[in-house]
Structure 1
Amino acid sequence: MVSTGARAAELQPLEIVTKSGVRVFTVEVAKTEQERATGLMYRKELPEGRGMLFDFSPEQPVSMWMKNTFIPLDMIFVRGDGRILRIAENTTPQSEKIISSGGLVRGVIEVAGGTAKKLGISPGDRVGHPLFGTK
């Protein structure tokens, strides 16, 4: 079996409530500095319904990049109240361009590129997960 990158310690369910229904994901939770720094680097694939949740507690401005990340991702920036602040769709693999949260966020969800559009996930939608005091 070929390694596709280190996995964060925990897998947890996460829900996003959209206008068209509830979307359920299984996310790896990146809590430590090392887990956040590595993120989804070096992965060759990210199955549908899977993702990574970055815990940036307390709420703060966040900047991400795609260095050493081989697959396009949607980055979903989530405020402390669980509302989506903004979405950076189909980020460019291996780019060092800085992707900013555009405000204070508590977490970032990374899913396969195109997922937000495909599932109708939009700013203002609510994320259900203990990190945001929901679910």
Structure 2
Amino acid sequence: MLRMIFTTLLLGCCGVCGTAFAQAAGSGQAQQLPIVQITAGMHLIKAEVARTFEQRQIGLMHRPSLPQGEGMLFVFEEANPQCFWMKNTLIPLSIAFVADDGTVLNLADMQPLSERSKCSAKPVRYALEMNQGWFAKRGIKPGSKLRGGPWPP
């Protein structure tokens, strides 16, 4: 009986958490995340930092636009193959998968509302999303170095 009560309470709590998460994800409101400045060559990036599972899950969902020179840095606890998709994301984005030393390993363009995954070529802890074409227009490609944020100066 006690086990049944505990299970009911646990499921009830998870339902509340899930509802709050869904409301945050569907609200159209940008998350309030810490900002870090990153440089890519002579280009400055103002990136929101998504560190927690919930922050990474919401990412840039439901936003109608992303200001030029701004992006989102996804930080994972450990290096693994990382894959991203664009469900509920309205902005066309480019993503850079980045090694621990700030080296861009690979890049991918992602289309709004697509459920097609784009993955890192190797295990990484970092991914940086920017407006689509941002990296290409600035000559940032695999092998380029990012500085600032979590990377060495």
TM-score (norm 1): 0.88
Paired residues, number: 127
1:23 to 43, 49, 55: 43
CA distance in 1, matches of 2:148, 2:79: 15
TM-score (norm 2): 0.78
- More helix, by proportion: 2
Instruction: Report the equivalent of 2:30.
Output: 6
Classify the secondary structure of the residue corresponding to 2:130.
strand
1:96 and 2:120 correspond? no
Structure of greater relative contact order (alpha carbons < 8 Å, 6+ residues apart): 1
Q: Deviations over 1:69-88 (max 9, x none)?
A: 00100001001121000000
Q: Deviations over 1:79-118 (max 9, x none)?
A: 11210000002x1100001111111112000000111111
> Rg larger in 1 or in 2?
2
Classify the secondary structure of the residue corresponding to 2:122.
strand
Identity of aligned residues (%): 37
1:76 and 2:96 correspond? yes
1:87 to 85, 107, 122: 107
2:82 to 47, 57, 62: 62
Unpaired segments of 5 or more residues in structure 2? Answer: 1-26
Q: Which amino acid aligns with 1:112?
A: N
- More strand, by proportion: 1
Alpha-carbon RMSD across the aligned residues, in angstroms, is 1.4
Q: Deviations over 1:30-77 (max 9, x none)?
A: 011110000000010001110000001322110110000001000010
